[in-house]
Amino acid sequence: MTQNDTLLDPSQYPDKDVYGVVGNPVAHSLSPLIHHQFAQQAHQNILYGKLFSEVDLFEQTVDTFFSKGGKGLNVTVPFKLKAFHVCARLTERAKAAGVVNIIWQEDGQYVGDNSDGLGLVRDIKNSQFIINKKNILLIGAGGAVQGVVLPILDEHPTLIVIANRTLEKAQQIVQRFSSQAKQVGTTLRAISLDHLEQEKEPFDIIINGTSTGLDQVSPLTDSQVKSLTNIPAQALAYDMVYGKTTVFMRQMQEQGLKVKDGLGMLVEQAAVAFEVWRGGNSRFELNTKIVLASLSQKVNT
């Protein structure tokens, strides 16, 4: 696919509602495949494509898309923070995340939402794992982790520990969500990754929210993994990176944990966007499991 194939122009499709994903790069995106299947399931007359933007022209790219009749955009790297600042109105999820991955217009203003955290929670629950009253370890303190804390808190876990190489960044997230954690009775605290081996709490779900999987490295050393000896037998290790068995996942498999990559999260967060754009899930039921199965075949072939 060339860059010219990712110059989405809604004015060329007057008989359809046009949506897309904007990024740089964006040619690799699986989002059109996902939304095409959702549109078929829900009998929605939409077209969903890929939109490339130069890094310094994001706002102009978004303005052009909507001025030509576009209805909504998903936002991927490296524009989620820029999208946050472009939006005049933000949902509570977007405010909590500090980044935006869904944009649409209301009364001529951009509205921003973030579905990453809800997508993660839905995928974990679809995998028959319970978050309520469980202990959660979140590795990392970037936008990915920040975006999932509130949706995880909404499930009322007993404990969330945020472990990061730079302790101060993890502490900032804890401070940001301390009131919400208190409201639901969740203990929320930060530790340095260097001190992970001193952690005594058993974790039911361990989530890698760093991008280390893209580079085939793990955020944890082998000794850190082995120090987590009191992991429950039915624990889950989840890597937000998708399409590969990461080093982190292999480490956790060796410890006897069930492992999962982020492909289901991608599908579920796309479902949230589709529901937001097309009037809510009360209008239709999306079968995300079928979409995930077809996507898994494509990714693994």
Question: Tens-digit pLDDT profile for the chain (301 aa)?
Answer: 444 456 799 999 999 999 999 999 999 899 999 999 999 999 999 999 999 999 999 999 999 999 999 999 999 989 999 999 999 999 999 998 899 999 999 999 999 999 999 999 999 999 999 999 999 999 999 888 988 999 999 999 999 999 999 999 999 999 999 999 999 999 999 999 999 988 888 899 999 999 887 788 999 988 888 887 677 778 999 999 998 899 999 999 998 899 999 999 999 999 999 999 998 766 788 999 999 999 988 776 5
The pLDDT value given to residue 4:
47
- Please state the three-class secondary structure of the chain as a single string: CCHHHHCCCHHHCCCCEEEEEEECCCCCCCHHHHHHHHHHHHCCCEEEEEEECCHHHHHHHHHHHHHCCCCEEEECCCCHHHHHHHCCEECHHHHHHCCCCEEEEECCEEEEECCHHHHHHHHHHHCCCCCCCCEEEEECCCHHHHCCHHHHHCCCCCEEEEEECCHHHHHHHHHHCHHHHHHHCCEEEEEEHHHHHHCCCCCCEEEECCCHHHHCCCCCCHHHHHHCCCCCCCCEEEECCCCCCCHHHHHHHHCCCEEECCHHHHHHHHHHHHHHHHCCCCCCCCCHHHHHHHHHHHHCC
149 in the same domain as 57: no
85 in the same domain as 160: no
CATH number reported for the structural domain that contains residue 38 in this entry? 3.40.50.10860
The pLDDT value given to residue 214:
77
Report if residue 202 sits inside a domain: yes
Residue range of the domain that includes 101: 3-114+264-294
Report if residue 299 sits inside a domain: no
d(CA 81, CA 246): 26
Q: Tokens 């760093």 sit at which residue?
A: 210
The pLDDT value given to residue 277:
96
141 in the same domain as 238: yes
227 in the same domain as 128: yes
240 in the same domain as 281: no
Closest-CA residue to 103 (of 66, 147, 133, 69): 66
Report if residue 252 sits inside a domain: yes
- Given 50, 71, 80, 134, the catalytic residue: 80
What are the b/e assignments for 252-277, b being 16+ CB within 10 Å?
Answer: beeeebebbbbbbbbbbbbbbbbbbb
125 in the same domain as 110: no
The pLDDT value given to residue 301:
57
Report if residue 301 sits inside a domain: no
125 in the same domain as 95: no
Q: Active site includes 134? A: no
129 in the same domain as 255: yes
Beta-bridge partner residues of 236:
205, 258
Residues 6+ apart with CB under 8 A from 22: 51, 52, 53, 58, 61, 62, 65, 73, 74, 75, 76, 79
Report if residue 40 sits inside a domain: yes
Report if residue 300 sits inside a domain: no
Report if residue 289 sits inside a domain: yes
d(CA 237, CA 217): 15
CA angle 60, 49, 76 (to 5 degrees): 60
CATH number reported for the structural domain that contains residue 166 in this entry? 3.40.50.720
CB 123 within 8 A of CB 296: no
How many structural domains compose the chain?
2
188 in the same domain as 290: no
91 in the same domain as 22: yes
268 in the same domain as 257: no
Angle between helices 263-278 and 31-42 (to 10 degrees): 50
274 in the same domain as 220: no
Report if residue 7 sits inside a domain: yes
